[in-house]
Amino acid sequence: MKSKEIAQILNFQVISSPNGDVDIKYGIVCDLLSFVMAHALEDSIWLTIQTHLNTIAVAVLTGIRSIVFVSGQKPNEETIKKAIEEKINLYVTEKSAFEIAGELYKLGIRGEEKRL
C-alpha cells in the first residue's frame, strides 16, 4: 500500500510528503534508535515519539521512507528540513503507537524485523 494512501485512510497530519508513492510493506514500533538501526527493514513505516533529528538519520541508514510521530509529538524545523532533504515522509497523529499499529495491522501491514 502506498504511503500517501495510508496517511489518508488513517487521517495523519502530513508534515512532509516528498516520497508519498513509496510502497509500504511492513510496520515497526520502536523508540530506541539503536534497535531500529539494527532491526528495521526497508519498506517499513516507523511509528515513534522520537522527533529528534537523529531519527531522520536512522531512517536514512535503514532505508525507511515514512515516519509517523505518534501521541501528538511534533517535529521541530530542523527535523522537518532534514526529512525533506532526505526525501522522507513525515506524519503526525494524536493517536498512540498502540492504536496506529492496530489500525495498520487491520489494513494488512504486518510487523517484520530483521533477526540478528
Partner 1 sequence: MKLREIKEILSAEVIIGEEELNREINLAGATDLMSDALALLGEGGALLLTGLVTPQVIRTAEMLDLSAIIFVRGKMPPKETIELAKKINIPLLRTKYPMYEACGRLYSAGLKGRKVEGIL
Partner 2 sequence: MRIPKEFFEGVKVKEIMNTDIVMVTPYHDMKSIQEIMRIKRIDGVPVVNDLGKIIGLVTVENVISALASGDLKSPCEKYMVRNPKYLDPEDNLYTALKLFRQYRFGRFPVVNNEGEVLGILSTKDIVLKLLAIEEKEVKIEKKSELEPLILEYPVLGGDFVSAGIASSTVKKVLQQLGVEPSIIRRVAIITYEAEMNIVIHAYRGVLKVFLTPEIIEIIAEDEGPGISDIELAMQPGYSTAPDNIREMGFGAGMGLPNIKNCSDELRIESIVGKGTKVISKIYLDKK
Residues that bind partner 1 (CB under 8 A): 26-32, 35, 39, 47, 49-50, 71-73, 94-99, 101-106, 110-113
User: Cell digits for 25?
Assistant: 510493506
**Nearest to partner 1 of 63, 102 (CB atom):** 102
| C-alpha to C-alpha distance for 45 and 64, rounded to whole angstroms | 7
Length of the chain in residues, anyone? 116
Q: Which of the choices partner 1, partner 2, none does residue 34 contact, using the CB cut-off of 5 to 8 A by kind?
A: partner 2
Supply the minimum distance, in Å, between the C-beta of residue 72 and partner 2: 8
Applying the rule CB under 8 A, the residues between 36 and 65 that interact with partner 2 are 49-52, 54
3-state helix, strand, coil in the chain (%, to 5): 35, 20, 40
Q: Is 33 in the site for partner 2 (CB under 8 A)?
A: yes
Q: What is the CA radius of gyration of the chain?
A: 12
Nearer to partner 2, 32 or 61 (CB): 32
Q: Is 74 one of the binding residues for partner 2 (CB under 8 A)?
A: yes
Burial class (CB in 10 A: 0-12, 13-18, 19+), 115: exposed
